[in-house]
Amino acid sequence: MPVEKHHFHPTILREYDIRGIVGETLFPADAEAIGRAFGSQMIENGDQRVAVGYDGRASSPELEQALVRGLRASGVDVIRIGMGPTPMLYFATYELETRNGIMITGSHNPPSHNGFKMVQMGKPFFGAHIQALGQRAASGQFTDGEGAVSDDPVMDRYVARMLQDFQNPSDLSIVWDCGNGVTGEAVRKTVSKLPGRHVLLYDEIDSSFPNHHPDPTVEENLQDLIRTVKGIGADLGIAFDGDGDRIGVVDSRGNIIWGDQLLGILSREVLAANPNAPIIADVKASKVLFDEIANLGGAPVMWKTGHSLIKTRMAELQAPLAGEMSGHIFYNDTYYGYDDALYVGLRLLNFLGSQDKTIDDLLDALPRMINTPEMRFPCPDEEKFDAVDRITAILKDAGADFSDIDGVRVTSGGGWWLLRASNTQAVLVARCEARHDEELESVKADMLDYLSRANIDCPAL
């Protein structure tokens, strides 16, 4: 009997994951086809077992059932780990020794969205692999079989494993904001084992996100956390995105500690135990971070933006720590090298418990720079990379001081500016940084000059 071919909506096969709008661009039939294609690739790799998890979205259980049907029909055995954060699925691939895993999650996207994050043969499944999955489905190149299915919830083992690396108890007062995402149960189980005072916000899993959107990189989404921290006199606050792989932190005064600042603080503990080690950060990170890593005796490494790209580079360099401005932070010293926001929060508390400085002190010790917010302006997918190529050629002709690791990051005076093409949206992304206001205006002017010379339209800064 011929295998039915399947064509995905062209917008859902993204660079780092598969993601769409349920009932518009993403349907259970897509989930089943993903299972067929992913499972068929596993069979060809000589692998037999895959772990499957899902987040708290209303559409996730139905998509999970369809995915499992597709995986089993390809001949692989499925282990269902149940509902939990994306990092719990990553953990399950180690704990259950499957090497393969699929997480059904819409991450921090609106309630109507959902998607799939994947691991195959112990490595992130992204980019060309996702495109090949789409091609396999379109051609109907599926294996046939009847895989087994079993349930093996790993939540308690996941929490216990994270707590293994918490060695320095303290009486800190912490506010945790789960944003009604899927981290709620894991956070409750974790803090019940910790000393100190713990106040939980929005730990009820509700995919309508009734209180605020679960994206800790947006200042507006941290306002309830800031008010609570200041209101009860807590030492700090920790927030999570919808699926628990990105973190946000605020100090006792309500100051937001951005991803690069947090990575600089965490680098202290890691480099004390791993002198001269490489620490990776993405091209959006402040110069302050790269200088701080060097000052602490580490080897700063600038790399491309994207959690899958960072994880891959981290494994290549055996770096013990890496991170992104977006709040993806990865520990590879005593942990597994994937992005796990709850684990990062525990490591931060562990570090604070090991010394006398507060999170406020550690933030104040970092030099201050002035940054623009991340600026995104429309550029069609078919034009955005060509636009970056044009400006790269102009910079080379001008003898400018720049890096082209991911787009262009141009040194300008005492600061820098960045232009890169988004891998997930039809936009160009820009950012500027300098030591003071006057210098920042000069950096902006330099960027606008090059954008104009490359015929790139940019809104007023």
Measured between alpha carbons, how far is 285 from 282 in angstroms, rounded to an integer?
6
CA separation (Å) from 82 to 36, 88, 99?
A: 20, 10, 17
Average pLDDT over residues 157-173: 97
Band of pLDDT at residue 3, cut at 50, 70 and 90: low
Confidence of residue 26 (pLDDT cuts 50, 70, 90): very high
Summary mean pLDDT of the chain? 96
- Label residue 373 by pLDDT band (50, 70, 90): confident
- The neighbouring-strand residues paired with 176 are 200, 238
Q: How many residues does the chain have?
A: 461
Q: Say which residue the tokens 């769409």 belong to.
A: 20
pLDDT in tens, 418-452: 999 998 788 999 999 999 999 999 999 999 999 99
Helices (H) and strands (E) in the chain, counts: 14, 22
Give yes or no for residue 2 having a pLDDT over 90: no
Looking at residue 410, its pLDDT comes to: 98
What is the enclosing helix (H) or strand (E) of 102? strand 101-104
If we measure between CA atoms, which residue out of 237, 125, 119 comes closest to residue 172?
Answer: 237
Pairing relation of β-strands 247-251 and 236-240?
antiparallel
Q: 460: pLDDT confidence band, cut at 50, 70 and 90?
A: low
Q: Quickly list H helices, 237-306.
A: 259-273, 287-295
Q: Alpha helices of 213-355 — where are they, by DSSP H?
A: 223-232, 259-273, 287-295, 307-317, 341-352
What is the per-residue pLDDT for 277? 98
Pairing type for strands 278-282 and 321-323 reads parallel
Q: Whole-angstrom Cα distance, residue 282 to residue 324?
A: 5
**85-144 pLDDT tens trace:** 999 999 999 999 999 999 999 998 999 999 999 999 999 999 999 999 999 999 999 999
Give the confidence band of 461 by pLDDT, cuts at 50, 70, 90.
Answer: low
Q: Phi first, then psi: what are they for 231, rounded to 5°?
A: -65, -35
d(CA 429, CA 408): 11
Percentage of residues of the chain with pLDDT beyond 90? 93
DSSP state of 3: P
Q: What is the pLDDT, as a whole number, of residue 323?
A: 98
Average pLDDT over residues 183-189: 98
Dist. CA 409–CA 413, nearest whole Å:
13
Structure tokens at 352: 């604070």
Positions annotated as catalytic residues are 107
Domains of the chain, earliest start first: 18-153 (3.40.120.10), 157-364 (3.40.120.10), 370-453 (3.30.310.50)
Q: What token pair was written down for 166?
A: 């918490």
Type and span of the H or E element at 41: helix 28-45
Q: Residue 45: which H helix or E strand, with range?
A: helix 28-45
The b-or-e profile of 420-436 (16+ CB within 10 A means b, else e) is bbbbeeebbbbbbbbbe
